[in-house]
Amino acid sequence: MSKKGDKTKRKLGMGLSSLLVKDDALSSIVKNSSRQAKKTESGSLKKNIKKFELKINATSNQTQAETHLLIPGTFQPRKIFNVSEIEELAESIKQNGILQPILVRPSKKNRKMFEIIAGERRWRAAQVASLHEVPVIVRNFDDKTSLGVAMVENLQRSDLNIIEEAEGYRMLMNKFDYTQEKLSIHLGKSRSHIANLLRLLTIPDKIKNNLVDGKISYAHVRTILTLSEEQAIEVTDEIMQKDLSVRVTENLVRKLKNKNISFEKARYEDPNILALQKELTQLLGLKVIVKNNLKNKGSLSIFYESLDQLEPIIDKLKWRPK
């Protein structure tokens, strides 16, 4: 693994440790995980996580809890759970059981229930697998620690989509007074990465959904962040309909910003096309409009006011050299 990759994993370990300084057992687990990450070779993050999970089992007080007594966590940053992945995990659980216990805390609303801090995906799969009990580790974490643990676990596993990650950062900042700098230190992410993701939360929901669904890329969205909501939606639709590259999108956005022109005009305004349009107008003696879209497809329109003007056009179109 590259030095940069090692450094990121060390930071993630240190981040969780700093968030859980009051929990000696779990802090120890994180430190061990951080040391293990230094030894991990490229492409073996899953193996490292599995070792991390086994350390939790070995050093924490594990017990069994009835599946129906667990409820989703209040501060779960992950909002979308892939049904097919849950079903696949359920089949694995039927064969091998749950290898890592689910981290929970007593529910504030009902002390007989347990709120999931980390492991909601396993819990959902356990229900599909019809398990009546699941292994759990109970911790009396406060809200701040609960969110911190959930964020770091999901970041280590790359389970969050880009919008969920951004919303998690915002929640840490709004509810627990974190700054971008502190988040960078605790979570092992660069400050610019956090700042860029937080900017995604300002875009319209329609664009967010397209980003999460993979219809547009993060690079595409970054190019439209400075546009108005209406323009951003128009450009996004154009990206999806025409399969525009990031470079072409950047050129379109640049036109919209620098010339303060309409979206339609920005799509078609090209010096070469305008020159051709002028040449055809002079050649035919009639108004001509050439529209060329960003994929170099378009239309040619010739305007006439009477049939007398139309006939010469037809003659010119029929003309063949002798």
What positions carry a catalytic annotation? 120
Q: What distance in Å separates the CA atoms of residue 86 and residue 66, rounded to the nearest whole number?
A: 19
* 244, 250 Cβ separation under 8 angstroms: no
DSSP per-residue string spanning 176-190:
H---HHHHHHHHT--
Question: Which residues are CB-neighbours of 97 under 8 A, at least 6 positions away?
Answer: none
Q: What distance in Å separates the CA atoms of residue 128 and residue 134, rounded to the nearest whole number?
A: 12
* Two structure tokens written together for 174: 């709004």
Q: Where are the alpha helices (DSSP H) in the chain?
A: 3-19, 24-39, 45-59, 83-96, 120-128, 143-157, 162-176, 180-187, 191-200, 205-212, 218-224, 229-242, 246-259, 263-268, 271-284, 307-318
- Please choose, from the candidates 285, 318, 276, 278, the residue with its C-alpha nearest in 3D space to the C-alpha of residue 303: 285
* Two structure tokens written together for 299: 């239309």
